[in-house]
């Protein structure tokens, strides 16, 4: 709840910018917003492809796609993607995979999705090196503490594993299962293509939706720069444990769009509409689908 409280405080302090952003909603060009909604729908297809690519067995296609749609609603109940992970674990278990293999498939999906997002961001930064200055996204003096945390967390985790034998045995067993699943998946070209193709398509479609919303509002930022801003913002907030990224994603996106040249009010309007299309409009039908899947014992 603490990140939500901090975001609320920032929103109150900058309420004039928010009000100006809401005032610009009437200037949007609706065909571009409809195209953004279409790109959002395709993200569920990409997620389903990546989930299928993480297991050698063939999963029921329609149920898999419906599960990805429902997982978006579940993401608003638990922080940092745990809701979607729980839904997909239940789905794979119902499909006959053991809990160990379901967990390994989930880990492989998360790894592929993370590498796809970071790899796409790196490729865009190489192609457009002037798109975003990293220092513009970080407060003064923040780089040192972030680097310290990035080094300290793996060292601390390694120390805990070295000291706790039972935990070390469990982690080693899980890693053996996960590596076996990864080898099985990559032995099948169709599964490997689905895994990595979906992992790249998912963030690309999300970035495309933001670009289309930006075009709808006439945001004077090149599309590639908007895509870089989206990927950088979502990578930056990945460790903020708010349900569905509520608050943290919006704040990071506004900062990133301003950093690549957008006006604060216009960037706020773009981010608000982008989140409405990608999060709030699918929320109620996603929740209804989630309830139906539970009643039908699909998950």
Give the span between the Cα atoms of 17 and 25, in whole angstroms.
13
Q: What percent of the chain has pLDDT over 70?
A: 80
Q: What is residue 82's predicted lDDT score, i.e. its pLDDT?
A: 79
Distance CA(29)–CA(73), nearest Å, equals 28
pLDDT category of residue 3 using cuts at 50, 70 and 90: low
Mean pLDDT of 161-189: 81
Cβ-contact 244, 130 below 8 angstroms: no
Buried b (16+ CB within 10 A) or exposed e, 102-116: bbbbbbbbbebbeeb
Percent helix / strand / coil, the chain, rounded to 5: 80, 0, 20
In order, the DSSP letters of 193-238 are HHHHHHHHHHHHHHHHHHHHHHHHTT-SS-HHHHHHHHHHHHHHTT
Question: How close are the terminal C-alpha atoms of the chain, in Å?
Answer: 28
- The residues that bridge with 79 in the sheet, in sequence order, are 243
Note the pLDDT tens digit of each residue in 187-201.
999 999 999 999 999
Would you say residue 146 has pLDDT above 80? no
pTM of the model: 0.82
pLDDT at 46: 95
Q: Among 75-89, 186-200, 215-229, which is the least confidently predicted range?
A: 75-89
**CB neighbours of 83 closer than 8 A, spacing ≥ 6?**
71, 73, 74, 75, 76, 77, 243, 244
Using a pLDDT cut of 90, give the percent of the chain over it: 35
Q: How high is the pLDDT of residue 159?
A: 76
Residue spans of beta strands (DSSP E) within 81-153: none
Domain edges within the chain: 2-295
How many angstroms separate the CA atoms of 50 and 91, rounded?
14
Q: Which value, in Å, is the radius of gyration of the alpha carbons in the chain?
A: 20
**Exposed / middle / buried, residue 125 (Cβ in 10 Å: 0-12, 13-18, 19+):** middle
């Amino acid at each position: 709840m603490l990140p939500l409280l901090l975001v609320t405080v920032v929103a109150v302090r900058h309420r004039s910018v928010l009000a100006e952003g809401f005032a610009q909603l009437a200037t949007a060009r609706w065909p571009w917003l409809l195209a953004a909604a279409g790109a959002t729908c395709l993200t569920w297809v990409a997620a389903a492809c990546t989930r299928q690519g993480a297991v050698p067995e063939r999963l029921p296609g329609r149920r898999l796609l419906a599960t990805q749609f429902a997982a978006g609603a579940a993401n608003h109940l638990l922080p940092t993607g745990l809701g979607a992970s729980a839904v997909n674990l239940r789905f794979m278990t119902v499909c006959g995979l053991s809990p160990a293999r379901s967990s390994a498939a989930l880990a492989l999906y998360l790894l592929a999705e993370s590498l796809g997002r970071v790899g796409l961001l790196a490729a865009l930064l190489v192609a457009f090196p002037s798109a975003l200055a990293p220092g513009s996204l970080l407060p003064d003096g923040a780089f040192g503490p972030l680097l310290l945390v990035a080094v300290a967390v793996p060292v601390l985790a390694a120390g805990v594993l070295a000291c706790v034998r039972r935990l070390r045995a469990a982690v080693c067993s899980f890693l053996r299962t996960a590596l076996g699943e990864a080898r099985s998946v990559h032995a099948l070209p169709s599964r490997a293509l689905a895994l990595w193709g979906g992992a790249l398509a998912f963030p690309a479609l999300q970035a495309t939706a933001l670009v289309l919303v930006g075009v709808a509002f006439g945001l004077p930022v090149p599309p590639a720069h908007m895509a870089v801003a989206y990927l950088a913002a979502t990578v930056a907030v990945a460790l903020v444990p708010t349900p569905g990224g509520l608050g943290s994603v919006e704040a990071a996106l506004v900062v990133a769009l301003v950093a690549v040249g957008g006006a604060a009010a216009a960037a706020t309007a773009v981010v608000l509409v982008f989140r409405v299309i990608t999060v709030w409009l699918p929320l109620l039908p996603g929740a209804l689908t989630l309830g139906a899947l539970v009643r039908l014992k699909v998950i």
